[in-house]
Chains A and B, each alone.
Chain A
């Protein structure tokens, strides 16, 4: 990793243990990771290796027992409440595994939500939603409810939503886990292209090597440790 690269995400000495006493399970053991602007990283590893735990901690959706995560030079631990939410919205796109869209909202509304939460005016929102949907090729489905869409289309909506505020980093937890291999390749292509075009760092959690090969860097986790 070149030293002159700008680090958008720096995780240092992360530990996370679930449960307590004899039942305790160490999900993360002293994990450190840095991600540069526009970098695409795949985190691989078997089930239960701690990949998702790491991703949620990086997204500020879970808290480590020890260690720190700095995103865009801001430590997650220093943020709380609405400022934490606002910071996540602006800097961190998130794509959850499986169904990650709001079922009651249309395609356009799903993409518009982060813009609305950010307080962007209606004209700007309309323009940016149109642009985002056009980039993922879903303009014609803007008014559809999301459960009328195929799995691939749904993930493209999730990508558009994650990218619409041009965050510094996008975190995706098994974004193609429920898709067939052809659709999965198509979706991951969209995701990586979007990230590159927007110079957004992308961290993918996957256990599919075919997906991981789209990443510039692949890190592997095993029993809570980066190997």
Chain B
């Protein structure tokens, strides 16, 4: 306010008038204030929206392996499942509902003996609609289809027809059917899983299966089964059973995944509600099982973890951006003080001055909030490749925006309060502060030491209480004590402040005025003077060092996350390639010279107590030559133990926890529990406990060798691991095999579909880029604020230097040195602190991955880019200030006392 216009009377009108004049006469100050608000708003909104967008991907990821979302299971065979299916299909959320039946039967072909088999009955369209059932040859319309294992059974290899009968005391029944084809049911886990009850979803791998048309089943077999059930021959519906029912009727309900709310927590609630709706729709004779519930529950847990993880990664960015606003206070004090003095001279009251300050803060806050939200929306949209308002539900979008605005308002409030206090202190007070040295609250209250003590205390308490660990109850979901993540936050603040204190103390001692020394050089002189008034450099240095440390932490965390993700992908595969026979009977020919070694992998059904488990049976010698990553052992011995004792077993930590098993115990396991011809109870010594054993996908909870399970060698391998000859690329070799005649008999993959649920499915790349750019900008703007202060508050000093014969180079040396000290100091202090914090954060990250991540992956390129970005933007910022200094008119400045 420089014009001498009289202040109009009145409260609000006067403030509005003053505000208008401030905005028109000092717009740059308002812009600076708005930017100070925009930064924390942008950082918080970007983090929250990114989290929201990332979490939206979790429901589709969680649902992708679910084959049938709901199963309506008839309590008795009297239910009209076709009618139930029609009713269920009429529900708007339901895409389709298909009748399904299963029964334990005997099959015979020609002169072969009778064998038990699982009979499945579906409509022919069912097979076409569900890709996890692969028709190898023929069709259901031509007759009964045999599973590959059934068709490989002696007597059935060339069977043209089969006879189906019922076992035990069933009424007489015989159904002759032509063999219509062969189906690969290895992926049809839904058909082999227990449909309802406590062990819902446990897979019962019966050795042989046939599929018949549902109409045939309904007309021929169902009446007999009903009769048998009425006679008491078939056990009644038992939700507690750990076996497949002898005969059951179901409706398989497919829900369009697009109908689920994208947030896993909401999706779980929605799914549960739909389950009840379908239950009512289906009637009392049917119970509805929610097959998606477990996946959504785990995903919900992970989404909570993801939100916390992202927030705790992003919060330092918000704090440092808020600190930037506070740093800006110093640059504005002089300007506000001058304005306030003028207003008082013209008769403004305290209330009016306060009202004006509040109005100015409100305008700056509003403009800054809008600017921050716009920047955040653009940044997140660019990082995710989708407009943020489309990728995030409106409710979450608005909530995040509201939280960000609250952060901006808080930052404004703290800033205005600080400004008012500084204005009240006046020039004399400021000079007294200069004389006493720069002693901000954090220095007098020793907040640096306190923060470090808090950080260390949290870590010690955590280690004392057993450290970070996985939840024994929730399987892959994690039980994280998230207060632990406050430790890096406290250490980040404490270490930065402590190192800054050390730096300033050293500089201050060197620059002590009492030491009578001649000046050395002009640069040395400028540095000496800098040591005597380090406040503004100190503030910019703290902001810069915090920002750089934060940026480095985020970059190193994201880089290590990426490395760990890649290592997990490799461990998931187990080797370079996976070769799966289309028909288990196909022997694998030699794949030399492209493939150096292969190892057959067998996944054998087993039962521990009542739980079905999968055993990974290794051909140890070939496995050792072929596997490309090592298991993650928690206790006991690993592969070397199996080499010494091939009759031992390694077990997953979850199995060890569930059954209270330890190394040295004997695992009581039933292999082939549903194949009466091969089933066998065994006791195998436990050699070690692992959290991951490659190939990790699909997960096996028991690992042993063919030496321990000779019967396993009789069954064909499920697939082969293949290790490439040196110098070849997996994709090239896979493409070569796919182009050869082998493609008809073998499926070759170079990547698995890893377990894409959970935190490991999240992409941190976009967020880390946003946060790193934000950190770089915060650091540069810290320098710019300092530069603005130099121009505003040291004008007289520059003019005096000019008057006593200093040239432009001399005058600019001091501010340039201050800028350089801030930039270099920020990098020198910030990089090691950021890397240290990265190491700490990765200890938490380790829990999310199958394999232990490396101590730290140094993102050299990213760090160089960050450093370069900080340097270049800071040079730009200080350059603007220096250019302003050269334009100062000494005569104008020195004219005033």
State the A residues within 8 Å of B (CB). 52-53, 56, 59, 61-62, 81-82, 84-86, 88-90, 92-94, 96-106, 108-109, 112-114, 116-118, 122, 125-126, 129, 142-145, 147-148, 161-162, 165, 173-174, 177-178
Task: Check B435 against A82 for contact (C-beta < 8 Å).
Answer: no
* B435 contact set on A, CB distance < 8 A: 145, 147-148
Interface residues of B in 788-820 (CB under 8 A from A): 796-797, 799-810
Q: Chain B nearest CB: distance from A128 CB in Å?
A: 11
Q: What's the Cα separation between A178 and B804 when bound, in Å?
A: 21
Task: Check A101 against B800 for contact (C-beta < 8 Å).
Answer: yes
Q: What's the Cα separation between A14 and B429 when bound, in Å?
A: 43
* B532 contact set on A, CB distance < 8 A: 104, 145
Q: Chain B nearest CB: distance from A210 CB in Å?
A: 19
Task: Check B518 against A113 for contact (C-beta < 8 Å).
Answer: no
Task: Check A102 against B894 for contact (C-beta < 8 Å).
Answer: no
Contact of B519 among A61, A99, A116 (CB under 8 A): A116
Q: Decide if B219 is an interface residue (CB 8 Å cutoff).
A: no
Contact of B797 among A53, A85, A103 (CB under 8 A): A103
Chain B binding surface SS class? helix
Q: Chain A nearest CB: distance from B511 CB in Å?
A: 9
Task: Check B800 against A125 for contact (C-beta < 8 Å).
Answer: no
Contact of B894 among A88, A89, A96, A122 (CB under 8 A): A96
**Count of interface residues, chain B, beta-carbon cutoff 8 Å:** 37
* B810 contact set on A, CB distance < 8 A: 85, 117
Task: Check A147 against B896 for contact (C-beta < 8 Å).
Answer: no
Contact of B522 among A56, A103, A117 (CB under 8 A): A117
Task: Check B807 against A114 for contact (C-beta < 8 Å).
Answer: no
Q: Decide if B728 is an interface residue (CB 8 Å cutoff).
A: no
Task: Check B529 against A96 for contact (C-beta < 8 Å).
Answer: no
Task: Check B894 against A125 for contact (C-beta < 8 Å).
Answer: no
Task: Check A100 against B800 for contact (C-beta < 8 Å).
Answer: yes
Q: What's the Cα separation between A100 and B798 when bound, in Å?
A: 11
Question: CB-nearest residue of chain A relative to B530?
Answer: A104
Question: CB-nearest residue of chain A relative to B532?
Answer: A104
Interface residues of B in 502-529 (CB under 8 A from A): 513-516, 518-522, 525, 529
Q: Decide if B891 is an interface residue (CB 8 Å cutoff).
A: yes
Contact of B809 among A61, A82, A118, A125 (CB under 8 A): A82
Q: Decide if B129 is an interface residue (CB 8 Å cutoff).
A: no
30 contacts between A and B (CB under 8 A): A56-B894, A61-B894, A81-B808, A82-B808, A86-B805, A86-B807, A88-B803, A96-B894, A97-B897, A98-B896, A98-B897, A99-B897, A100-B803, A102-B529, A104-B529, A104-B797, A109-B519, A112-B518, A113-B519, A113-B525, A113-B806, A116-B519, A116-B521, A117-B522, A122-B518, A122-B520, A125-B518, A144-B513, A147-B435, A165-B805
Task: Check B518 against A117 for contact (C-beta < 8 Å).
Answer: no
Most buried by A among B522, B804, B807, B897: B804
* B894 contact set on A, CB distance < 8 A: 56, 61, 96-97, 100, 173
The verdict on A103 contacting B434 (CB below 8 Å), with A59-B803, A114-B805 known, is: yes
Q: What's the Cα separation between A125 and B519 when bound, in Å?
A: 9
Contact of B895 among A52, A82, A88, A94 (CB under 8 A): A52
Question: CB-nearest residue of chain B relative to A57?
Answer: B891
Task: Check A143 against B522 for contact (C-beta < 8 Å).
Answer: no
**Which 8 pairs, one residue from A and one from B, show the smallest C-beta to C-beta distance?**
A89-B805, A98-B897, A85-B807, A62-B891, A56-B891, A82-B807, A104-B529, A94-B803
Q: What's the Cα separation between A162 and B800 when bound, in Å?
A: 11
Task: Check B805 against A109 for contact (C-beta < 8 Å).
Answer: no
Given known contacts A61-B803, A81-B808, A97-B897, what 7 new A-B pairs fall within 8 Å (CB)?
A93-B804, A96-B894, A99-B897, A100-B894, A113-B519, A117-B805, A148-B435
